Chains A and B, each alone.
Chain A
Amino acid sequence: SYELTQPPSVSVSPGQTASITCSGDKLGDRYACWYQQKPGQSPILLIYQDTKRPSEIPERFSGSSSGKTATLTISGTQAMDEADYYCQAWDTSTVLFGGGTKLTVL
């Protein structure tokens, strides 16, 4: 098994770009997904297959992957983007989550 590591917190000013990383030994061989979770709400899928975005997700959310690190990028961050973000990947037949990153927009 391997672990997914995210920074506990990231801060960004409104209108700027926020980047949240997710690192793991097997990420180069696995696709990553990203979820957004606001307080008291269930998770929402933002990105899948490293870079794909569901049609209902705003274009300012994008994903990328290089080596053993997947990255979620939020361009033109808005106050409404303040939330917890989780990466997720698979290890053979089990599901892994990163510890989550709290994004603060200030």
Chain B
Amino acid sequence: QVQLVESGGGLVKPGGSLTLSCAASGFSFSDYYMGWFRQAPGKGLEWISYISSRSTIIYYADSVKGRITISRDNAYNSLYLQMHSLRAEDTAVYYCARLSDGYGRFDPWGQGTLVTVSS
């Protein structure tokens, strides 16, 4: 079945860096746009970035622009999120999701990986 599995979260100090991964299976990964989202503790969902199937189109939310880089490797069915200059407010569960069609729906979502930025 279609599955997304995030990994790479953990505890990082302010100013540090971290790279998250999202492993896809059960569908033709190279045919789909993919996105990253996050949810701070007790807060709502926030979109942070998406990337087109061939990596030619990339967008970032203003809140993270300049501090994160989204990328993908279609040969390995994997999506990545490199995060730099991390701040306490970046503490959140990070989710990857598939952009399923041209009407803008994200489905499915991975189970999420927790990033904690703290000294």
Chain A residues with CB under 8 Å of chain B are 31, 33, 35, 37, 42-45, 48-49, 54, 84, 86, 88-90, 93-100
Contact = CB atoms under 8 A, between A and B. Distances in A.
Contact of B104 (A33, A44, A98, A99): A33
Contacts of A43: 45, 95, 97, 106, 109
B111 interface: yes
> Which secondary structure dominates chain A's binding surface?
strand
A42 B45 contact: no
B47 A97 contact: yes
B47 A99 contact: no
23 contacts: A35-B45, A42-B109, A42-B112, A43-B97, A44-B109, A45-B100, A45-B106, A45-B107, A48-B100, A48-B101, A49-B103, A49-B105, A90-B104, A93-B59, A94-B61, A95-B35, A95-B47, A95-B50, A95-B104, A96-B47, A97-B46, A97-B47, A99-B44
Interface string B83-119: 0000000000001010011011111111110000000
B110 A42 contact: yes
Size bracket of the B interface: 20 to 34
A99 B39 CA distance: 11
B47 A31 contact: no
Interface centre among B103, B105, B111 (most CB of A within 10 A): B105
Given A42-B110, A43-B95, A86 B44 contact: yes
Contacts of B104: 31, 33, 48, 88-90, 95
Nearest to B105: A48
Given A42-B110, A48-B103, A48-B105, A94 B95 contact: no
Given A54-B107, A88-B104, A95-B106, 7 more contacts: A35-B45, A43-B45, A48-B103, A48-B105, A94-B47, A94-B61, A100-B45
B110 to A, nearest CB: 6
B41 to A, nearest CB: 12
